[in-house]
Chains A and B, each alone.
Chain A
Amino acid sequence: MLEQPATTPPQRQAATAQETAHVASGLRARKRRKDRLTNGLAYFVLGVIALIMLYPFYWTLITSFEPTGNIYQAKLWPSGFSFKNYVEVFQGTTVPFWRMVLNSVIICTLGVTLTVSFAALAAYPLAKMRFPGRDLIFYAILTLMVLPNEAGLIVNYSTTVNLGLLRQDNPVLNVLAQYAAVVLPGMASIVGLFLIRQAYLGVPMELIEAARIDGARELTIWRRVMLPLALPTIVAFSILEFVAYWNSFLWARIVLRDKELLPLSAGLLELSGTFSTNSRAVMAGAVLTILPILIVFAFGQKYFMKGIEGAVKG
């Protein structure tokens, strides 16, 4: 009587364990079947969405290679193949294509280098130095980020005019000034500042203290300690900025008097205006405009996604 309760539970447990194993395997098989079904369904839905997302690009690409035919038709393959439209764009009879490529390269190089440098410089004292006014500046910048600024375009245009950046008196200096006019308004990136500051915060204080004790100047610490340790964030931010500068067209169209200085994405809209007789040439131009972005995106995708997440969280 006394021993029974001690002996039966293990037996019962074994039995239930066996039962459970049986039931579990059954469940697992059913789950596997169900999983296969839901996976199949998931792939189908994913495929349909991918088609919607990518077909417009594919359609533009194949149409840009067609010499003639029904241009706007829905199609899976090009009706013919030639580089005619690309040659037309490259020759730049109505729009100086190569000049616009050069403009884009100049604007992106200037824009990305300076935007990233200024943010990386300014983030250092905000993250790792003690000085009066630090919190004030930090919160002022934070407030500025959430403050809506719908008159920004208007006032920045007025500022650009009043700074004399659109003056037409010296052919060489005016070109430089107009490039500056395009790039300057976007150069203080608050998002970038917070992203990089966040990365700096993770750098151990001991490292910086040690360098200071060794008599390193702050600029050296910034260059030799902070920048290398924040490199992944800086790369991510640089890619974000490259895409932003390459894609922006509105400000350039507003501010540039000289159509010769337009970057590619803005020039594309000029192209669509002047080339209205040959939309396929505009399509070729569109393909050429996307290409660099796709290449950068393909190589820096991991950084890019991290940057987006960080930009919103920061």
Chain B
Amino acid sequence: MTIPTRRESRREQHKRGGTGAQVTVRNTLIAYAFMLPFLILLVVYHTWPVFFGTYLAFTKYNVISPPEWVGLDNFRELTSDEQFWSGLRNSLKYILVVPIIQGLSIAVAMLVNRPMKGIGFFRTAYYVPVVTSFAVVGLIWTWMYQQEGPVNFVLQALGLMKEPHSLLNNPFTALYAVMFVTLWKGIGYYMVLYLAGLQAIAPELEEAAVIDGATRLQVFWNITLPGLRPTILVCSLLSTISAIKVFEEIYVMTSGGPAGSTYTALFYTYSRAFVDFKFGQAAAAGLIIAVISILFGLVNFRLTRGGRADA
């Protein structure tokens, strides 16, 4: 904008032969120079882990001495490690969060999509947990879940519980208590995405359906939901992968306890690496989790019919 287009200079340039957009050695070098810092970091911290991580899964490695090839030993050990299986089971159980968080986020997005006074306040309020660190969120909910704390107060007031329980210290409730925190923190995020999806649906479609005598439910089922399908694909994919990889809330709130009831697959990876310094075994577990999340991604893709709005 700040650079004026001068006709005479363009003519001069033509005399000299072409513009800078041409593919020359010099321009190629310039292009790569622009990308250099980014590409170096990308290779070191993104590409290298994919390859080296896969390699490490077949080695014994403790960071200090070089990795030592052990073949499939790590995987053999994993399959006989009850802790790994229980971690995997808990991670898969965690996928329960996905349909709930997606359903609630769609509902909330439809609510805050209404043209009402003060709706901006609600959108902002629901987003505050999203921008808060898991360090803070985890601590806050650890306090909220205390036996004499607000959560127990509400559950008892609603008649859902006879006597107070320390929900995070009970092996039967701890995982669900942590799931609620994931839900609480994530709804605002998906709400924003669904809101964008809703606003992309042509309002004429819904109006026409209403004129033709469609009920609210019919409009939602036949117009809103199909229109949201691409968003649903992306969101459920994101939340399935983060459910399988759930870690930070566990790390802050329960550290896998009580009695291993919140011990998840990635927590296993973490403690194998940074507590036991068995990096090879941790990498093998990581590889298995990666394969599982790819499989779930594909299932998700099929379930939402590839996210096509017309399907």
Contact = CB atoms under 8 A, between A and B. Distances in A.
Interface string B96-125: 000000000000100110101001011011
A148 B289 CA distance: 9
A162 B61 CA distance: 13
Interface stretch (A5-13, A14-22, A88-96, A180-188): A180-188
Nearest to B12: A213
Nearest to A38: B114
Contact of A73 (B108, B125, B148, B270): B148
B9 A57 contact: no
Interface string A125-168: 11001111010010001001001111111111111011000000
Contacts of A289: 133, 135-136
Interface string A70-101: 11111000000000000000000000000000
Contacts of A206: 5
A190 B46 CA distance: 10
Contacts of A265: 133, 135-136
A149 B34 contact: no
Interface stretch (B36-44, B171-179, B220-228): B36-44
Given A73-B149, A225-B2, A56 B139 contact: no
Nearest to B237: A146
A144 B44 CA distance: 13
A161 to B, nearest CB: 5
A269 B252 contact: yes
Interface string B54-87: 1011000101000000000000000000000000
Contact of B63 (A53, A59, A161, A279): A161
B188 A156 contact: no
A57 B41 contact: no
B131 A297 contact: yes
Interface stretch (B201-209, B279-287, B302-310): B279-287
B128 A57 contact: yes
A258 to B, nearest CB: 17
Contacts of A222: 34
Contacts of A224: 2-3
Contacts of B21: 129-130, 208-209, 212
A304 B294 CA distance: 29
Contact of B45 (A56, A184, A212): A184
B23 A54 contact: no
Nearest to B124: A301
A249 interface: yes
Contacts of A225: 1-3
20 contacts: A46-B119, A49-B108, A49-B111, A50-B126, A71-B143, A131-B28, A137-B35, A152-B45, A154-B56, A154-B269, A188-B42, A188-B45, A212-B19, A212-B21, A214-B9, A249-B135, A294-B131, A308-B193, A309-B196, A312-B193
Given A149-B50, A158-B61, A279-B143, 18 more contacts: A54-B128, A57-B132, A74-B149, A122-B35, A129-B30, A132-B23, A144-B50, A154-B56, A154-B279, A155-B49, A161-B63, A209-B21, A216-B3, A224-B2, A224-B3, A269-B252, A286-B140, A309-B196
